[in-house]
A and B are shown apart, each in its own frame.
Chain A
Amino acid sequence: EVQLVQSGAEVKKPGESLKISCKGSGYSFNTYWIGWVRQMPGEGLEWMGIIYPGDSDTRYSPSFQGQVTILADKSINTAYLQWSSLKASDTAMYYCARHELGCSGSDCNSEYFDHWGQGTPVTVSS
């Protein structure tokens, strides 16, 4: 069974650093991209970026480039989302998700998040 298990809730102060994790199991972790999605309180989903654990190739949304770092340690099947200096506006739920590549009809270039972690709530407040 594919599972993504995220680290627990975090409460931090502005300016502090943070690294949250997402551990995959039940599949070949190195061969699937993993993505991160932000959901601010009461708001919609925002695509932050994806990483390929096999070689750490990473793609960021321009909205998040330079604001966060996406990492992976393939030896322990874990992806990370890291901040060097948190802001109050980083308060949100953060989800990791497995990025699958599949076929829809004759087109085998469909991409989608097929399995999701349970989410990590991050609160940044002074």
Chain B
Amino acid sequence: DIQMTQSPSSLSASVGDRVTITCRASQTISSYLNWYQQKPGKAPKLLIYGASSFQSGVPSRFSGSGSGTDFTLTISSLQPEDFATYYCQQTYRTPHSFGQGTKLEIK
């Protein structure tokens, strides 16, 4: 199985901050990397697929980059509704494993 490792596991930031979350794969996954946002008590929501493509309706402050084994999710200017847990997922090979999550909290 491909292991996905996110860093940091948790992060405190303020409204307006620029935040970057990193995801590393245990082997190359080309650009088959997705990002999801999950708020407490809710189902995950797709933000980014194919490493850098926006899902419809996702604000432009979210962006994704990377290929191979190293990927990033950037939020350019944090808004109050962005405080949530973020997960990466590889779809290069089944099982389509998720990272362990990054919890973004208000400072």
Which A residues contact B (CB, under 8 angstroms)?
35, 37, 44-47, 49-50, 59-63, 95, 97, 102-105, 107, 109-114, 116-119
A44-B99, A47-B97, A61-B95 known; A105 vs B45 contact (CB < 8 Å) = no
Q: Within 8 Å CB of B91, what residues of A?
A: 110-112
Q: Within 8 Å CB of B99, what residues of A?
A: 44
Q: Once bound together, how far apart are the Cα atoms of A111 and B46, in whole Å? A: 11
Q: Report yes or no: B55 in contact with A104, Cβ–Cβ below 8 A.
A: no
A2 to chain B, nearest CB (A): 11
Which B residues contact A (CB, under 8 angstroms)?
1, 30-32, 34, 36, 38, 43-46, 49-53, 55, 87, 89, 91, 94-101
Question: Which of A49, A62, A102, A116 contacts B50 (CB under 8 A)?
Answer: A102
Q: Within 8 Å CB of A60, what residues of B?
A: 95
Most buried by B among A44, A104, A109, A112: A112
Residue of A nearest to B53 (CB): A104
Q: Report yes or no: B43 in contact with A104, Cβ–Cβ below 8 A.
A: no
Residue of B nearest to A109 (CB): B32
Question: Which of A45, A62, A97, A109 contacts B1 (CB under 8 A)?
Answer: A62
Q: Report yes or no: B32 in contact with A45, Cβ–Cβ below 8 A.
A: no
15 contacts between A and B (CB under 8 A): A35-B96, A44-B87, A44-B98, A45-B44, A45-B87, A45-B98, A59-B95, A102-B53, A104-B51, A110-B50, A111-B91, A113-B36, A113-B89, A114-B49, A116-B45
